[in-house]
Structure 1
Amino acid sequence: MAIFKHLNREEYSEFVCGCGAAIINIGITFPINKVIFRQMLHGMALRHAANQLFSEGFRTLYRGIGPPLLQKGISTSLMFGTYDAIQKPLLNTNMNVTISKGIAALMAGTAEATLTPFERVQTLLQDNHYNKQFANMRDVIKVIATKYSATEFYRGVTPVLMRNGPSSTSFFLLRETANKYIVLPPNAWAGFRVIKEFLTGAFIGALNSTLFYPCNVLKVHMQSSLGGPFISIRQAAIDVYKERGRKISYFYRGVHMNCTRSFVSWGIVNLAYENLKNVIKKN
Structure 2
Amino acid sequence: MTQGEKKHLGMPSQHVLRNFRKDSSEGLTRQWQRPEFVCGWGAAFVNISVTFPINKVMFRQQLYGVRVWKAIQQLQKEGLTHIYRGLMPPLLQKTTSMSIMFGLYYEFQRHLNSTFPSVWSPVNKSVAAMLAGTVESVLTPFERVQVLLQDRTYHRHYGNTLHAFSEIRQTHGIKEFYRGQTAILLRNGPSNVLFFLGRDYLHMVYPADETAGQKVLLDFVSGACLGAFLSSLFYPLNVVKVRMQSKVGGEFVKVLPTFKKILMERNYSIKKLYRGLHINYTRAFISWGIVNATYEFLMKHFKNSDEMDES
TM-score by length of 1: 0.95
Q: Is it true that 1:64 corresponds to 2:86 in the alignment?
A: yes
- Give the aligned partner of residue 204 of structure 1: 226
The one-character-per-residue Cα deviations of 1:180-226 (angstroms, maximum 9, x if unpaired) are 012231xx332211110100100000010000001110000001000
**1:225 maps to which of 247, 250, 255:** 247
Matched, 1:50 2:72: yes
SS at structure 1 position matched to 2:57: helix
Give the alignment partner of residue 39 of structure 1, picking from 61, 70, 76: 61
Distance 1:8 1:124, change over 3 A: same
The aligned counterpart of 2:16 is: none
CA distance in 2, matches of 1:240, 1:44: 13
Moved more, 272-281 or 206-215: 272-281
Is residue 153 of structure 2 the alignment partner of residue 129 of structure 1? Answer: yes
The equivalent residue for 1:25 is: 47
Query: Following superposition of structure 1 onto structure 2, how do residues 1-283 of structure 1 map, counting pairs within 5 Å?
Result: 6=28, 8=30, 12-92=34-114, 93-94=116-117, 95-185=119-209, 188-283=210-305
Find the aligned partners of 1:212 and 1:7 in 2 and give their Cα distance. 37
Residues 47-74 of structure 1, C-alpha deviation per residue, up to 9 Å, x if partnerless? 1101111111111100000000000000
Q: Deviations over 1:110-129 (max 9, x none)?
A: 11111000000000000001
Q: Secondary structure at the match of 2:85?
A: coil
Percent identity over the alignment? 45
- Structure 2 distance, partners of 1:268, 1:278, is 15
Give the match for residue 21 of structure 2: none
Aligned length: 277
**What is the one-letter code of the residue matched to 1:238?**
K
Change (3 A) 1:49 1:12: same
**Contact residue 11 and residue 84 of structure 1 kept, 8 A:** no
Amino acid of the residue matched to residue 205 of structure 1?
A: G
Measured in 2, the distance between the counterparts of 1:228 and 1:220 equals 16
Q: Which has the higher contact order (CA 8 A, sep 6+)?
A: 1
Q: State the Cα distance separating 1:249 from its structure 2 match.
A: 2.7
Structure 1 gaps of 5+ residues are none
Q: Provide the aligned C-alpha RMSD in A.
A: 1.3
What code does the residue aligned with 1:164 have?
A: N
**C-alpha distance in 1, partners of 2:297/2:211?**
15
More deviation in 49-58 or 172-181?
49-58
TM-score by length of 2: 0.87
Counterpart Cα distance in 2 of 1:134 and 1:172: 37
Q: Is the 8 A contact 1:18 1:81 kept in 2?
A: yes
Summarize the Cα distance change of 1:233–1:120 in structure 2 as closer, same or farther, 3 Å threshold. same
Cα distance, 1:278 vs structure 2: 1.3
- Are the counterparts in 2 of residues 7 and 85 from structure 1 also a CA contact under 8 Å? no
Radius of gyration: which is bigger?
Answer: 2
Moved runs in structure 1, 4+ residues, more than 6 A?
none
Question: Quick one: distance in 2 between partners of 1:198 and 1:107?
Answer: 25
Letter in 2 for 1:65: L
Q: 1:117 is matched by which residue type in structure 2?
A: P
Q: Once the 2 structures are TM-superposed, how far is the Cα of residue 261 of structure 1 from its aligned partner?
A: 0.2
Shift of residue 11 of structure 1?
5.9
Superposed CA deviations along residues 6-27 of structure 1, whole A, max 9, x for unmatched, are 4636962110000010000000
